[in-house]
Structure 1
Amino acid sequence: MDVFYAYTYSTAGWLSLQSFALLTVPGMMTTMLEQEARQPSSTEIYFSRCLGMSLLTIAILTVILTGSIPLTSSIAEPVTTDDSDPKAPYAVPTMMVTTMFHALSASYAYAWWAYKGQAAFAIGMVVSGFIASVGLWCALFASSNGKISRRTGADKRTAGFPFANKEAAKKHGGKRL
């Protein structure tokens, strides 16, 4: 499986898991995150369920906008994440937005974990941080094909500054690559 699609499905899965908990048992969330046990207010239940529906919507949009679900009736063509692919024109921007979301969620969970020291915040911090790092990896390495030289097999986007590749230059008659 491509790393990009692993990121897409892990984002959708994590957001769906959070939304499921917020939609089904909003009182449990209040009990887990508060020091004293009490019944949640109707406002807390309302906001919990609204957040759950929002997270589920973001999860569905992530899967749809990245092209993981083909929206055409033809399944003969493979789904790619190329920038010129008309099936997933929003794949890279969606990945960037969800990566920022996971990074912000991880830092926010870290702040609450540092303040309260509860395991629920630590779990959220670790999972969101891991997914954010996979998204960052996809943004850096998996979002473009690169420009590979047919003659040397090297990536043409690299530069020799500040360290020149003298060994490769020796192999090609002193020519700079």
Structure 2
Amino acid sequence: MDVFYAYTYGTAGWMAIQAMPLIISPTVIIMLLSPEVREPSPLEGYFARSLGFSLLTLGLIIALLTGSIPLTSTTTSTAITTSQTDPKAPYAVPVLLISLLYHSTVAFYCYARYTTGGTFCFALGSVVSAALGSVALWCVMFASSGGRISRKTGADKRTSGWPFKNSESARERKKVARGKSG
């Protein structure tokens, strides 16, 4: 499985895990979070369920707009591309960046709450969100382009000859030069 797809499924799954207790039993969640024992108000229950539905929706949108769940019957290449023929092209990288920002913010918030309160749940949330954010950062840096492959030589244009000589690229250039002259 591609790292990008693993990230989108992991993000959707983590958001679903967070959403289920909020949707199923907001009363228990609110009672656990409240410093005094009391019955939660209907407004608190509404906000808890709304947050749960929002997390589920956000996870599903991330999976759909990044192309992890295909919306067409034909599949394209697994790399994140920016070509106009790819139906997910306009949305994959922006959604990836927004979800990276989300995971980074949640990881920072959970870590700050963990250091002040020492609750295990915040530590778990911080670790999982930081891991998902790290994978998203990796996808943004390394998986968001098809590379710069030369049409003539087939070599990657981003390589250089410093500090070591790129003998493979030099060999391909000689082949191309011989083909043009002969």
TM-score when scaled to structure 2? 0.80
Segments of structure 2 that go 5 or more residues without pairing to the other structure are: 172-182
Deviations 1:44-98 (A, max 9, x none): 21211111111111011111101112212x24x3454321143212111111101
Residue type of the alignment partner of 2:141: L
Structure whose CA Rg is larger: 2
Please say if residues 160 and 166 of structure 2, whose CA atoms lie closer than 8 Å, have aligned partners that are also in contact.
Answer: no
Identity of aligned residues (%): 45
Which residue number in structure 2 is paired with residue 121 of structure 1?
Answer: 122
Which residue number in structure 2 is paired with residue 107 of structure 1?
Answer: 108
Please say if residues 76 and 86 of structure 2, whose CA atoms lie closer than 8 Å, have aligned partners that are also in contact.
Answer: no
Aligned length: 167
Shift in alpha-carbon separation, 1:14–1:135, aligned structure 2, 3 A: same
TM-score when scaled to structure 1? 0.82
Map 1:1-177 onto structure 2 (within 5 A).
1-72=1-72, 74-75=73-74, 77-78=75-76, 80=78, 81-84=80-83, 85-89=85-89, 90-149=91-150, 151=153, 153=155, 155-158=156-159, 164-168=162-166, 172=170
Secondary structure of the residue aligned to 2:106 is helix
What stretches of structure 1 move > 6 A for 4+ residues in a row?
A: none
Shift in alpha-carbon separation, 1:39–1:113, aligned structure 2, 3 A: farther
- Structure number with higher helix proportion: 2
**d(CA) in 1 for partners of 2:164 and 2:158?**
17
Segments of structure 1 that go 5 or more residues without pairing to the other structure are: none
